[in-house]
């Protein structure tokens, strides 16, 4: 676009903004505008990772697992094991490790019948020990190490003291010097998990990993910039998962990545291409 054309569009936008704002904020129109905005964000993968497209998350991970003969796969925050089960169904090979702190979830993880699956009842953060897990119901997919108060969620009413480990300690415990894919879904504590994987990230022991960013980070007080600096600082490249499982590259930090409605899913990889 020619600079003069861009300037014309900017001037036109400024002139039309006041009357359009008045129209967009009329009672009957306001909700439609809001829903349209949310939908357009979802098409970009922003706020679309709230569990309604598990198949898409599996598809996105498969971009990084195709051709790997005997992959090592780690699921942190496995909940009921649907992601691990989906990866096994797609691959039918590999070694699997699932970390989940809620006792109520363990039987359903094992019920996926993934051969050789190692299930560990533990949360994962940046320091080992014990922490309090908060949830709205036993086995909830919203259980968090933080007390969450989002407008669209039920308030947490259950607490459970759970063991906590770190990625670096977990890999050492199982004698793993390499992980092909790690999924991190810990409802706001993703940054803490990454801080507890410092050695693994520094040595590129993890080839690729997925993580969430969204409303739970309001309560962990973590910005996407924190995740971006840590991940890219170790030489990883980022993608955002969009509906259907396509992975769209995120090559630079922008402030609109600080998206706190719902959950956005990202993948980091040691390779710049899929």
pLDDT computed for residue 1 by the predictor = 44
Q: What tens digit of pLDDT does each residue of 23-72 get?
A: 888 888 899 988 999 899 999 999 987 656 788 999 999 999 989 999 99
pLDDT computed for residue 52 by the predictor = 64
Number of domains in the chain: 2
- Whether residues 112 and 60 share a domain: the answer is yes
- Whether residues 37 and 73 share a domain: the answer is no
pLDDT computed for residue 16 by the predictor = 87
pLDDT computed for residue 20 by the predictor = 78
Does some domain include residue 216? yes
Phi, psi of 36 (to 5 degrees): -65, -40
State the pTM of this model: 0.92
Q: What is the CATH number of the domain that holds 118?
A: 3.40.50.150
Does some domain include residue 227? yes
Bigger pLDDT: 106 or 24? 106
Query: For residue 126, what are the domain limits?
Result: 54-269
- Whether residues 29 and 134 share a domain: the answer is no
What is the overall mean pLDDT for the chain? 93
pLDDT computed for residue 4 by the predictor = 54
């Amino acid at each position: 676009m020619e600079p003069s054309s861009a300037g014309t569009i900017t001037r036109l936008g400024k002139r039309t903004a006041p009357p359009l704002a008045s129209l967009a904020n009329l009672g009957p129109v306001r909700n439609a505008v809001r829903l349209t905005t949310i939908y357009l964000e979802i098409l970009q993968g922003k706020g679309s990772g709230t569990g309604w497209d598990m198949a898409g998350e599996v598809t996105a991970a498969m971009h990084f697992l195709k051709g790997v003969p005997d992959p090592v796969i780690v699921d942190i925050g496995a909940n009921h094991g649907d992601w691990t089960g989906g990866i096994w169904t797609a691959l039918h090979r590999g070694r699997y490790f699932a970390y989940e702190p809620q006792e109520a979830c363990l039987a359903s993880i094992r019920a996926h019948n993934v051969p050789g699956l190692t299930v560990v009842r533990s949360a994962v953060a940046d320091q080992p020990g014990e922490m309090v897990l908060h949830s709205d119901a036993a086995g909830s997919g919203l259980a968090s190490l933080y007390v969450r108060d989002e407008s669209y969620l039920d308030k947490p009413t259950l607490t459970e003291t759970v063991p906590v480990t770190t990625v670096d300690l977990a890999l050492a415990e199982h004698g793993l010097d390499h992980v092909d894919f790690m999924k991190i879904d810990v409802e706001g504590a993703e940054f803490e998990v990454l801080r507890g994987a410092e050695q693994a990230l520094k040595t590129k022991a993890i080839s690729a990993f997925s993580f969430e960013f969204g409303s739970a980070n309001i309560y962990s007080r973590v910005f996407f910039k924190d995740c971006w600096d840590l991940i890219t600082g170790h030489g990883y490249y980022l993608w955002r998962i969009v509906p259907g499982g396509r992975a769209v590259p995120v090559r630079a930090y922008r402030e609109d990545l600080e998206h706190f409605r719902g959950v956005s899913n990202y993948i980091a990889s040691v390779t710049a291409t899929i």
